Amino acid sequence: MISIPRSSKSVKIDMDYDVTIIGAGVGGVFAAHELAKIQERRKGMKPLNILLIDKGKRVEERFCPLDLGESCSCAACAKYIGFGGLGKSEGKFNYTNDFGGGLERKVGSENAMALMDEVDAVLCEYGGAAAADYSTENPVLTERARQAGLAVLTTRTRHLGSALSTVVLEKLQRYLLSRIILSFETDVAAIQLMEGGGFKLELDGAEGRRMLTTRKLVFATGRSGADWMAAQCQALGIGQDSVRVDLGLRVEMRGNQLDAILGETFETKLQYVGEDYMATTYCMNPSGRVIRKHQDGMVMPDGQNFREREGEGSANLNFTLFVPRYFDSMEAADSFARGIISGINRGGERIVAQRLEDLKLGRATEQGIMQQNRVKPTLQVDPGQLADEVPELYTKALLDFLAALERLLGEPIDEDTMVYGIDGKFYAPSIETNEALETRVPGLYAAGDCSGVTHSLSQAAASGIHVARQLARQLAGELPEVTGE
């Protein structure tokens, strides 16, 4: 039993909490942080009671037993859930409206950028300034790319890397522990709408089952809480929209292949629009390696950069070319992606790869040929024939994109370039919210990726700040002892 409809009997509104946030990824953390800061600025006022709940652990306890050489029986990986959510992994904050979600459609493009600048200021306040920011803006390249049929998506980036991300999150967690209540390893078993407004929650955690009431509620459960969200939305009558899934081939090329366009920049993001698809590069790693990514029982080729670990890189550069597709439901989206990825994995960790020349000629890559390849694959894979294992859309998109890239570079892409099948990126369904990110249930907001509006750390965090401000405004109107900002 997950959700209960509106309570039939009248309940006296005697709130335990003014605001409860479910999910302590960056969406929830930045919402909680902003609310705590608003309180600080309102010295002398009655403090708001704020609760932040996560089903995962505190940041310092977030380890995968496999990484410690132990066995793992976790239902969900501590590397992905808990304080900071997915923000604990690479910590690459891209401050842009060009990609990473559609927050600008809700709050306006200038406001979205201003909110992202505030996210950056918070990161820097908690130690993030140790990683210098950089910009991928390059008007000359943008024009050359346009002539070649490509768009350059630009951003200002602060790439914390996993070590600094952890430091920043630990400091944020320390601050929040001194200002609000945090409840870890806690599930929300049931949500009940109360007569006259507010919510009654049933929590299930280390302290057993407990009930609480809250005046306002924020869902910030990310993609990992998508099934839970779907059940909540259905029970609360909140509509869910289409579900996006990006699949794409990962490319590993000579390290100097993109020198003509990378120049001073660490990476670039290019987009090609075909007749019936749009293809965008993702996670470009100069000197990086291709690694296996495990997600929901699927194994995919992912990229890892070695900026943090000098001497462990490679002579190659890798990136994925993602092509989005949209489905009517989570089940349809999952079944499509799982069908392709599990087919490649064959019940194990199998990843298939093919030389670019072989892909173009429609012939399988042989093991012997791969050993002589000038581009040495950084991941152990099964050489094979991608056309037999992935839908044509993805191979066609890659070949079209590489043809445009050759026009931009003014040189051919090395035929020994390796192509790996297949990487995936999964999204939460979009839900109905207004520009304040409030759902049709008054007082219930959605921040971060669970809203379907954001798909990146910076936009998820920015949406958290935005929601916190709307909440503070609403509460200022409802609670006589709390005045405006």
Ligand X SMILES: Cc1cc2nc3c(=O)[nH]c(=O)nc-3n(C[C@H](O)[C@H](O)[C@H](O)COP(=O)(O)OP(=O)(O)OC[C@H]3O[C@@H](n4cnc5c(N)ncnc54)[C@H](O)[C@@H]3O)c2cc1C
The site for ligand X (CB under 6 A) is made up of 22-28, 53-56, 81-82, 85-87, 89-90, 92, 94, 100, 187-188, 220-225, 228, 448-450, 455-458, 460
Closest CA to 463 of 160, 25, 20, 81: 25
CB of 364 to ligand X, least distance (A): 30
Minimum Å distance from CB 228 to ligand X? 4
Nearer to ligand X, 404 or 467 (CB): 467
Nearer to ligand X by C-beta: 457 or 482?
Answer: 457
Min CB(435)–ligand X separation in Å:
18
- Rounded Cα distance between 171 and 176, Å, is 9
Of 56 and 301, nearer to ligand X (C-beta) is 56
CB of 27 to ligand X, least distance (A): 3
Q: Which is nearer to ligand X, 213 or 458 (CB)?
A: 458
Minimum distance from residue 348 beta carbon to ligand X (Å): 21
CB of 231 to ligand X, least distance (A): 10
Task: Indicate the residue whose CB is closest to ligand X.
Answer: 25
| Residue 8 CA: distances (Å) to CA of 4, 17, 194, 203, 318 | 11, 22, 8, 21, 57
Given the complex with ligand X, which of 33 and 223 has the nearer CB atom? Answer: 223
Q: Which is nearer to ligand X, 28 or 384 (CB)?
A: 28
Closest CB 261 distance from ligand X, rounded Å: 22
Q: 89 or 385, CB closer to ligand X? A: 89
- Nearest to ligand X of 354, 451 (CB atom): 451
Quote the least distance from Cβ 362 to ligand X, whole Å: 33
